[in-house]
Amino acid sequence: MSKLDSVLSSINSESTYKQRKRNRYEIYNDVLTALIHEVAEHSRPSLTRVAARVNMPYDRLKDVLQYLADIGFCEHLGSGFKVTGKGAEFLLEYRKFNESLSRMGLEL
């Protein structure tokens, strides 16, 4: 095997790495957490920055935010969104649940 072949095979094996697909609760957790960070850092969250933080297309983020607003986890404030008490409670319980699973050697 030539040096070029070994380099090409290592590049091909690296490019086949795929990130694990997130479930809907992980996405909700990521979006709500990003909203909290955005408000803390910039006082008014930019949906473009939130989309970049959660690695999600802007149009899909808007759909997720609308769903989270519909169930009361966040609220629409003019040009932005804010996490509600119910959303903060979800984040707390979700993290507790993940920690419990982790202690048992399991993951979602």
The helix or strand, by DSSP H or E, that contains position 25, with its residue range, turns out to be helix 24-42
Structural domains in the chain plus CATH codes: 22-103 (1.10.10.10)
Does 16 score more than 70 pLDDT?
no
Quote the pLDDT of residue 87.
Answer: 96
Quote the pLDDT of residue 78.
Answer: 81
Mean pLDDT of 35-61: 92
- Identify which of 73, 91, 92 has the alpha carbon closest to the alpha carbon of residue 83: 73
Lowest mean per-residue pLDDT among 1-10, 82-91, 99-108:
1-10
- In whole angstroms, what is the distance from residue 46 CA to residue 3 CA? 48
* Residue 80 φ/ψ, nearest 5 degrees: -140, -175
Which tokens sit at 98? 């993940």
Cβ count near 36 (within 10 Å) = 17
pTM of the predicted protein model:
0.78
Quote the pLDDT of residue 9.
Answer: 52
